[in-house]
C-alpha cells in the first residue's frame, strides 16, 4: 500500500481533533535523503515539536521546524537511522504525540554471477552468484537458475552483508550458451515492489580446445574452376583458422586465415593436401583434405635411355611417365606403318619397357598414352636402330709368305660392333689347323709351327647382328732352312778344270729356287729347281777352267728364293769358296834397306819375299867370286837378315831363291860397301935416295872403295900430278927434285894424305931434266890403266872387298 495514499486517507480523521500526523512506520533505503514530517494541522496557535528517539541512540538527523510541521531530515540514510522515533507536538497546552518506526534497507546492487564464462569442458567448474551490501540480510533469498531450472537457492542469515552461492558442476558442450540467472529478493515489507527483486543473467560459456574439426567442400576440382573449402570445428573460445597447402614437392604454402578457403582458377600446382589448423588457447587440431585437380593427363613424356638412335644389339629402356596429373594407366605401343602394337600397359603413372638387344625391326615410333577419367594424352618417340658399321681388318693383309716351321698369327680385328662373332675357315675347305683365340674384338689364329699343309687362303668372317663382313689372306709357304754347301774337287794348277758342287737342302717350292754361280759380281751360270710338292735337295755343278788370274778368286754359289714378301736376308743364301790355284814360286824379290850403297859401319837389312802356292822355302845367299855363302834359309815365303855394321867384305851379290814342289825362283841384288881412303902407304922404287938421272916409281897403296884418285905434289911447288891408279914415275931426276912430296888419295867419301922425302944425289956431268919435263899425261894414263887392272885383280883376290895398291910391280910400270 502506498504510504502517501495512506497518509491522505487518514488526514481528514486526524485533522478533526488536534492530531499529530506521523506515519507509524517508514522504510528508508540506505543512502537516500529522506525526510520525516510530523505535523498537526488543526492547531490554531503556536505549535511546538519535540523529536525523541525511543531507542538508545541518537537520531542522527537534522530537524527543520515549520509553522505546522517539523521535518526530520536524514541526509544520508544509514543503518544508524533505524529507530523508533516519538514526535511530540504541543499546541498550546495540548501535547499530542505519535511515534513511528524507522526501518532501513539496503539492496543496491544486482547479483554478480561469476565463473560462467570460462568453463572448462568436462572439468569441475564452480559457478558463483554473489549478492552484497544487502540489509537486512535475513530477508534475502537468492536462487541460481539455468533456464527455468533452479540450480541452487539460499536464504540469508542475519547480520551478514550478503550471500554467495557456489554451484559446482562439470559442464557439457550442451551447456554452452545457456542462460544462467541469479535472482535475489529482499522479502521485507514496505519495500517498493520494484526494489524487492534484483536479478542478473549471463550465459554459460563452456571453453574447449578445437574439436570435431573437418573440412567440407569438393576436394576434386576441375582445372580452371574455383576451389572452396570450409573448415568446420567446435571449440571455445572461437578458434582461429589457418589454411596451409602441402604441395607434393614438400613445400608448405599458407593459404588463408579464414574459416573458408577459396582458390580461384585452380591450376595443377594447386594439387596437394590442404590442412586446416584450428586453434584457440586451449589447443589446436588439424584436418586435412587432399585436393585433386581434375584434368586429363598432362605432360606425358616418353624417353629413351640412353638414346634414340642406336645400333643393333644395344640395349634400351623406353620410359613413359605422366605424373603431372593422376593417371590411371599408361600404355606403351610401337607404331610401324600406321599399325600399333601394344608393348606394355601399366597401372599408375609410369612404365618402362626394356629391350636388351635391339633388332632393326625395333625401329619405329613409340607411343605412350596416358589415361584417366578426364581424358588421355599421347607422347611419341622415334627410335632408330641402325646396323653396325662393322669393319674387319685382317692382318697380315694380302699374302703372307711364311717359312716352314716359323710361327705365324693371323689377327682379325673387328670394329664398329660391340659383340662381334668370329669364324675362321679356309677357302679350300680344308680343315684349319692351329689354335684360335678370341678376346673381345680380336680373334687370332696361331699357326705355330706352320707346316706345308697350312698353305692356302684363310678367311675371317665376322658377324654383327644382321651384318657380316669377311677378310681373307693367303698364306704361301717356303722352306729354305740352310745355306748352300759348296764343295770343290781340290787344288789345281793353271789350265786345269776345277769342279765345284753347290747343294742346298730341303727347299720348297723347288721351282722358285734359283742357284746362281757368281764370280764376284759376274754371273757365271744359273739354274732353277723343278716343281715338287715336297721339299727337295737342289744341287748345281760348276766346271771352271782355272787360269793364273784366278788366284784367290772367290766363287759364290747364290741360292735365291724368288718370291715376294721374304726379307732379302732370308731369300738369299750364299756360300763362297776361294779357287785353289797352285803355282811354282814367282815374283821373288830381294830388297835392301835402307839402300844398296853403303858406307862401312852402317847397318843394312836384306829381305826376300816370294810368292808360291803352296808356300815352300826361301834361301838367302851371298855370292863372291862364284862362291855362295848361305846366310839364311827358312820355311815360308820370306826371309831377311840384318847386318848391323857392314865392312868392305860385305859387298857382293846377294841372291834369294824360293822353292816349292813345283819349282824355284830367284832374285839378286849387288850390294856395295864404300869407304874413304885409309891405311895409305907410299913406296918409292927402287929407293927414295937415287942418283941424279935415275928414274923412280912411286907406288901409293890405300884401302878405298870406290877407287881413289891420287895426286902427287912437291910441297914447295904448286905443280901437281894426278894418277888414277896411284903410280907415279919420275924420270931423270935432278938434285933440284930433292924435297918433301905429298900424295893425296881421294875418293867420293874423303881423302887421306901421306908425305915422304925424295933425295937426289948430284951427278956432275950433265944437267938433269926439270920436274915439269918428264911427267907426261900419256905415260900416267897408260900406267894408270894398267895399275887399275891390278887393283881390280887384287880386290877380287883378297875377297875382302878392299883396294890394295901395295902390289906395285916395278916390272909392269
Ligand X SMILES: *[C@@H]1O[C@H](CO)[C@@H](O)[C@H](O)[C@H]1NC(C)=O
* CB-closest chain residue to ligand X: 76
Region 236-255 residues binding ligand X, contact defined as CB under 6 A: none
In angstroms, the CA 725 to CA 792 distance is 11
Pick 168 or 678: Cβ nearer ligand X: 678
| SS3 at position 248 | coil
Query: Taking a C-beta distance cutoff of 8 angstroms, is the pair 219, 202 a contact?
Result: no
Does 798 bind ligand X (CB under 6 A)? Our answer is: no
The CB-of-744 to ligand X minimum distance in angstroms stands at: 3
Query: In the sheet where 350-355 sits, what is the strand order?
Result: 301-305, 316-321, 350-355
Does 570 bind ligand X (CB under 6 A)? Our answer is: no
Of the candidates 802, 705, 807, 805, the residue with the CA atom closest to the CA atom of residue 746: 705
Candidate ranges 557-565, 618-626, 643-651, 730-738; the one touching ligand X (CB under 6 A): 730-738
Pick 275 or 324: Cβ nearer ligand X: 324
The CB-of-437 to ligand X minimum distance in angstroms stands at: 35
The CB-of-13 to ligand X minimum distance in angstroms stands at: 36
Pick 357 or 532: Cβ nearer ligand X: 532
Helices in 711-776 by DSSP H: which ranges?
771-774
Does 678 bind ligand X (CB under 6 A)? Our answer is: yes
Does 695 bind ligand X (CB under 6 A)? Our answer is: yes
Candidate ranges 154-162, 406-414, 445-453, 746-754; the one touching ligand X (CB under 6 A): 746-754
The CB-of-445 to ligand X minimum distance in angstroms stands at: 30
| SS3 at position 745 | strand
Handedness of CA 230, 235, 237, 242 (dihedral sign): negative
In angstroms, the CA 107 to CA 162 distance is 9
Query: In the sheet where 442-447 sits, what is the strand order?
Result: 391-395, 408-415, 442-447, 435-439
C-alpha cell at 404: 716352314
In angstroms, the CA 558 to CA 308 distance is 67
Does 354 bind ligand X (CB under 6 A)? Our answer is: no
Does 111 bind ligand X (CB under 6 A)? Our answer is: no
Angle in degrees, CA 685, 689, 691, rounded to 5: 100
Cβ partners under 8 Å of residue 182, min gap 6: 111, 112, 113, 129, 131, 142, 143, 144, 145, 165, 199, 200, 201
Candidate ranges 241-249, 474-482, 646-654, 763-771; the one touching ligand X (CB under 6 A): 763-771
Pick from 6, 9, 10, 31 the residue near ligand X by CB under 6 A: 31
Region 196-225 residues binding ligand X, contact defined as CB under 6 A: 224
How many CA atoms, within 13 angstroms, populate the side-chain half-sphere of residue 763? 14
- Within 10 Å of residue 474's Cβ, how many Cβ atoms? 14
Does 76 bind ligand X (CB under 6 A)? Our answer is: yes
Does 768 bind ligand X (CB under 6 A)? Our answer is: yes
In angstroms, the CA 685 to CA 681 distance is 13
In angstroms, the CA 157 to CA 694 distance is 232
Does 576 bind ligand X (CB under 6 A)? Our answer is: no
* Alpha-carbon distances, residue 509 vs 398, 406, 455, 528, 536 (angstroms): 20, 16, 11, 11, 8
Pick 77 or 581: Cβ nearer ligand X: 77
In angstroms, the CA 663 to CA 685 distance is 58
Pick from 423, 753, 798, 806 the residue near ligand X by CB under 6 A: 753
In angstroms, the CA 197 to CA 192 distance is 10
Pick from 185, 372, 444, 744 the residue near ligand X by CB under 6 A: 744
Query: Taking a C-beta distance cutoff of 8 angstroms, is the pair 179, 146 a contact?
Result: yes
Does 106 bind ligand X (CB under 6 A)? Our answer is: no
Region 497-516 residues binding ligand X, contact defined as CB under 6 A: 505
Does 731 bind ligand X (CB under 6 A)? Our answer is: yes
Pick 97 or 738: Cβ nearer ligand X: 738
Pick 280 or 536: Cβ nearer ligand X: 536
Pick 403 or 804: Cβ nearer ligand X: 804
Does 746 bind ligand X (CB under 6 A)? Our answer is: yes
C-alpha cell at 449: 709351327
Pick from 629, 634, 679, 687 the residue near ligand X by CB under 6 A: 679
In angstroms, the CA 747 to CA 727 distance is 16
Q: Could you tell me whether strands 572-578 and 554-561 are parallel, antiparallel, or unpaired per DSSP bridges?
A: antiparallel
Pick 364 or 677: Cβ nearer ligand X: 677
Pick 236 or 702: Cβ nearer ligand X: 702
Count of residues that interact with ligand X, criterion CB under 6 A: 25
Pick 146 or 536: Cβ nearer ligand X: 536
Of the candidates 6, 1, 27, the residue with the CA atom closest to the CA atom of residue 186: 27
C-alpha cell at 681: 902407304
Does 537 bind ligand X (CB under 6 A)? Our answer is: yes
Does 734 bind ligand X (CB under 6 A)? Our answer is: yes
- Phi first, then psi: what are they for 771, rounded to 5°? -55, -35
Pick 326 or 768: Cβ nearer ligand X: 768
Does 415 bind ligand X (CB under 6 A)? Our answer is: no
Does 406 bind ligand X (CB under 6 A)? Our answer is: no
Pick 137 or 734: Cβ nearer ligand X: 734
Pick from 530, 767, 776, 812 the residue near ligand X by CB under 6 A: 767
HEC profile for 6-73?
A: HHHHHHHHHHCCCCCECCCEEEEECCCCEEEEEECCCCCCCEEEEEEECCCCCCCCEEEECCCEEEEE
Pick 473 or 783: Cβ nearer ligand X: 783
Pick 446 or 751: Cβ nearer ligand X: 751
Say how many Å lie between the first and final Cα of the chain, rounded: 241
Binding characters for ligand X, 294-333, by CB under 6 A (x = yes) = ----------------------------------------
Pick 209 or 710: Cβ nearer ligand X: 710
Pick from 694, 738, 759, 806 the residue near ligand X by CB under 6 A: 694
In the complex, which residues of this chain contact ligand X (CB under 6 A)?
31, 76, 78, 224, 265, 267, 505, 536-537, 678-679, 694-695, 711, 731-732, 734, 736, 744, 746, 751, 753, 767-768, 770
Amino acid at each position: 500500500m502506498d504510504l502517501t495514499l495512506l497518509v491522505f486517507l487518514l488526514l481528514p480523521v486526524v485533522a478533526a481533533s488536534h492530531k499529530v500526523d506521523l506515519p507509524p512506520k517508514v522504510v528508508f533505503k540506505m543512502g537516500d535523503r529522506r525526510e520525516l514530517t510530523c505535523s498537526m494541522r488543526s492547531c490554531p496557535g503556536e505549535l511546538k515539536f519535540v523529536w525523541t528517539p525511543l531507542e538508545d541512540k541518537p537520531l542522527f538527523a537534522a530537524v527543520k521546524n515549520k509553522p505546522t510541521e517539523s521535518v526530520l531530515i536524514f541526509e544520508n540514510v544509514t543503518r544508524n537511522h533505524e529507530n523508533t522515533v516519538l514526535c511530540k507536538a504541543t499546541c498550546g497546552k495540548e501535547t499530542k504525540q505519535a511515534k513511528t518506526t524507522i526501518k532501513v534497507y539496503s539492496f543496491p546492487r544486482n547479483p554478480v554471477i561469476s565463473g560462467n564464462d570460462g568453463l572448462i569442458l568436462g572439468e569441475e567448474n564452480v559457478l558463483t552468484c554473489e549478492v552484497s551490501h544487502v540489509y537486512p540480510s535475513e530477508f534475502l533469498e537468492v536462487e541460481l537458475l539455468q533456464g527455468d531450472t533452479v540450480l541452487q537457492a539460499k536464504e540469508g542469515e542475519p547480520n551478514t552483508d550478503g550471500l554467495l552461492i557456489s554451484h559446482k558442476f562439470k559442464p557439457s558442450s550442451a551447456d554452452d550458451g545457456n542462460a544462467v540467472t541469479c535472482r535475489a529478493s529482499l522479502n521485507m515489507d514496505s519495500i517498493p515492489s520494484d526494489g524487492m527483486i534484483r536479478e542478473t543473467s549471463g550465459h554459460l560459456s563452456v571453453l574447449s580446445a578445437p574439436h570435431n574439426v573437418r573440412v567440407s567442400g569438393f576436394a576434386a576440382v576441375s582445372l580452371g574452376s574455383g576451389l572452396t573449402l570450409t573448415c568446420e570445428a567446435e571449440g571455445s573460445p572461437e578458434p582461429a583458422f589457418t589454411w596451409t597447402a602441402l604441395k607434393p614437392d614438400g613445400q608448405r604454402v599458407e593459404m588463408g586465415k579464414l574459416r573458408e578457403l577459396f582458390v580461384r582458377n585452380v591450376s595443377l600446382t594447386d594439387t596437394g593436401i590442404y590442412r586446416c589448423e584450428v586453434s584457440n588457447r586451449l589447443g589446436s587440431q588439424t584436418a586435412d583434405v587432399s585436393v585433386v585437380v581434375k584434368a586429363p593427363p598432362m605432360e606425358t613424356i616418353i624417353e629413351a635411355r640412353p638414346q634414340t638412335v642406336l645400333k643393333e644389339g644395344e640395349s634400351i629402356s623406353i620410359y613413359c611417365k605422366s605424373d603431372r596429373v593422376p593417371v590411371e594407366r599408361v600404355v606403351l605401343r610401337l607404331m610401324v606403318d600406321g599399325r600399333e602394337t601394344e608393348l606394355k600397359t601399366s597401372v599408375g603413372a609410369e612404365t618402362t619397357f626394356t629391350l636388351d638387344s635391339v633388332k632393326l625391326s625395333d625401329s619405329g615410333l613409340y607411343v605412350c598414352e596416358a589415361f584417366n577419367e578426364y581424358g588421355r594424352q599421347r607422347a611419341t618417340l622415334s627410335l632408330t636402330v641402325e646396323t653396325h658399321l662393322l669393319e674387319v681388318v685382317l692382318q697380315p693383309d694380302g699374302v703372307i709368305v711364311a717359312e716352314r716351321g716359323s710361327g705365324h698369327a693371323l689377327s682379325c680385328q673387328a670394329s664398329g660392333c660391340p659383340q662381334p662373332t668370329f669364324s675362321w675357315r679356309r677357302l679350300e675347305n680344308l680343315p684349319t689347323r692351329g689354335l684360335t683365340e678370341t678376346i673381345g674384338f680380336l680373334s687370332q689364329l696361331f699357326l705355330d709351327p706352320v707346316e706345308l699343309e697350312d698353305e692356302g687362303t684363310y678367311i675371317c668372317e665376322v658377324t654383327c647382328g644382321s651384318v657380316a663382313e669377311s677378310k681373307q689372306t693367303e698364306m704361301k709357304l717356303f722352306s729354305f732352312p740352310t745355306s748352300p754347301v759348296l764343295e770343290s774337287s781340290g787344288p789345281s794348277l793353271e789350265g786345269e778344270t776345277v769342279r765345284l758342287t753347290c747343294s742346298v737342302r730341303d727347299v720348297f717350292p723347288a721351282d722358285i729356287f734359283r742357284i746362281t754361280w757368281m764370280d764376284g759380281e759376274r754371273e757365271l751360270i744359273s739354274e732353277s729347281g723343278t716343281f715338287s710338292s715336297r721339299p727337295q735337295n737342289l744341287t748345281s755343278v760348276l766346271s771352271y777352267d782355272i787360269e793364273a788370274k784366278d788366284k784367290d778368286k772367290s766363287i759364290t754359289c747364290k741360292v735365291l728364293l724368288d718370291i715376294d714378301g721374304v726379307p732379302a736376308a732370308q731369300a738369299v743364301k750364299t756360300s763362297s769358296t776361294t779357287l785353289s790355284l797352285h803355282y811354282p814360286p814367282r815374283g821373288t824379290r830381294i830388297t835392301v834397306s835402307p839402300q844398296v850403297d853403303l858406307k862401312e859401319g852402317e847397318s843394312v837389312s836384306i829381305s826376300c819375299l816370294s810368292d808360291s802356292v803352296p808356300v815352300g822355302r826361301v834361301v838367302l845367299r851371298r855370292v863372291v867370286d862364284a862362291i855362295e855363302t848361305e846366310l839364311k834359309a827358312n820355311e815360308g815365303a820370306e826371309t831377311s837378315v840384318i847386318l848391323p855394321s857392314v865392312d868392305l867384305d860385305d859387298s857382293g851379290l846377294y841372291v834369294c831363291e824360293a822353292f816349292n814342289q813345283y819349282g824355284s825362283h830367284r832374285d839378286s841384288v849387288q850390294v856395295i860397301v864404300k869407304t874413304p881412303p885409309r891405311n895409305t902407304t907410299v913406296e918409292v922404287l927402287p929407293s927414295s935416295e937415287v942418283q941424279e938421272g935415275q928414274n923412280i916409281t912411286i907406288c901409293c897403296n890405300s884401302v878405298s872403295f870406290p877407287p881413289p884418285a891420287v895426286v902427287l905434289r912437291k910441297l914447295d911447288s904448286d905443280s901437281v900430278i894426278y894418277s888414277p891408279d896411284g903410280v907415279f914415275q919420275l924420270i931423270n931426276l935432278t938434285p933440284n927434285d930433292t924435297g918433301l912430296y905429298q900424295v893425296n888419295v881421294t875418293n867420293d867419301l874423303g881423302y887421306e894424305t901421306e908425305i915422304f922425302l925424295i933425295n937426289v944425289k948430284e951427278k956432275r956431268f950433265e944437267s938433269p931434266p926439270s920436274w915439269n919435263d918428264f911427267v907426261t899425261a900419256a905415260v900416267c894414263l897408260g900406267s894408270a890403266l894398267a895399275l887399275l887392272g891390278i887393283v881390280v885383280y887384287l880386290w877380287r883376290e883378297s875377297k875382302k872387298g878392299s883396294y890394295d895398291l901395295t902390289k906395285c910391280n916395278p916390272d909392269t910400270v
